[in-house]
Structure 1
Amino acid sequence: MKRTAGMLLISGALAIGATCPSAAAQLNTMDEVGTAIQACWTPPVDAGNSIVTLSFSFKRDGTLLGPPRPTAAKVAGDDKARKSFIDAAMTAVKNCTPLSLSPQLAQGIAGNVFTLQFVSPKIGQ
């Protein structure tokens, strides 16, 4: 039986054009992992007030163990807007990996399922 997976829930809005830090210094905590992935995300311009939660797992080398999966989404707009928003979040996770994990974090991360929440900035903020 697999051990209980850790959960990471981070929400926030990022400035458009943030730099992807996947080649940056080693990450020591899951908070740092969440921040690194969020920095790779650029929400669609017309995202409105939207949110998506993705689930994914890492290997010890910082690569993904399979593709990220959307587990919850509330997206403003039609089906096309929904797909665009979810795709942008999934692309951020894929493009930001592999991550450079510290040996301590790599030891405990392998195979655990994590969630990360992507929240679009509200219009006018």
Structure 2
Amino acid sequence: MRTTAGFSAIIGTLLAMPFAANAAPLNTMEEVGAALQACWTPPANSGNATVTLSFSFKRDGTLIGPPKPTAIKVGGDDKARQVYVDAATAALRNCLPLSFSPTLAQGMPGKVFTLQFNSPKDNAKAIQQ
């Protein structure tokens, strides 16, 4: 009986979680940046760090290939930098797929976007190239 009750609790928790597919469609790149930043949690003790990721979307809100770090400003050694890049990449991956409005989705393929992940979190910048 405990297994069934535990399983039911997990299912109930999963059903209560917001999924991107159920979210209202995003209409602007500012909304896309805000949605992605909502998933961002800087690593602990990262100080005043920044990593910029470059990526492209498909119309369905998934990525065309993996994101690429294009600028990394993180104090510490290579391991500290990698932890920060991994956290930014995970934040992006965990937010997908996004739901784009038809108008926004039409202009997505083939465009490269960059998103800057900052610590502290409130200094975020999203840039469309």
TM range (shorter): 0.7 to 0.9
- What corresponds to 1:83 in structure 2? 82
- What corresponds to 2:20 in structure 1? 22
Query: Offset at 1:77?
Result: 1.6
Q: 1 CA distance for matches of 2:28 and 2:88? A: 21
Deviations 1:61-115 (A, max 9, x none): 1111101000001002211110000110011111111100000000001121000
Give the total of aligned pairs.
Answer: 104
| TM-score normalised by the chain length of structure 2 | 0.76
Does the CA contact (< 8 Å) of 1:22 and 1:36 recur in 2? no
Q: 2 CA distance for matches of 1:20 and 1:50? A: 29
Q: As a proportion of its length, which structure holds more helix?
A: 2
- What corresponds to 1:103 in structure 2? 102
Percentage of matched positions with identical amino acids? 69
Structure 2 unpaired stretches of 5+: 1-16, 122-129
Structure 1 unpaired stretches of 5+: 1-18
SS in 1 for 2:84: helix
Higher RCO (CA < 8 A, seq sep 6+): 1
- In our comparison, the structure showing a higher alpha carbon Rg is 2
Task: Evaluate the alpha carbon distance shift between residue 105 and residue 118 of structure 1 in structure 2; reply closer, same or farther with a 3 A threshold.
Answer: same
- RMSD (Å) for aligned C-alpha atoms: 1.7
The aligned runs of 1:1-125 (5 Å cut-off) are 22-23=20-21, 24-121=23-120
Q: 1 CA distance for matches of 2:78 and 2:58? A: 32
After the TM superposition, which parts of structure 1 deviate over 3 Å for at least 4 consecutive aligned residues? none
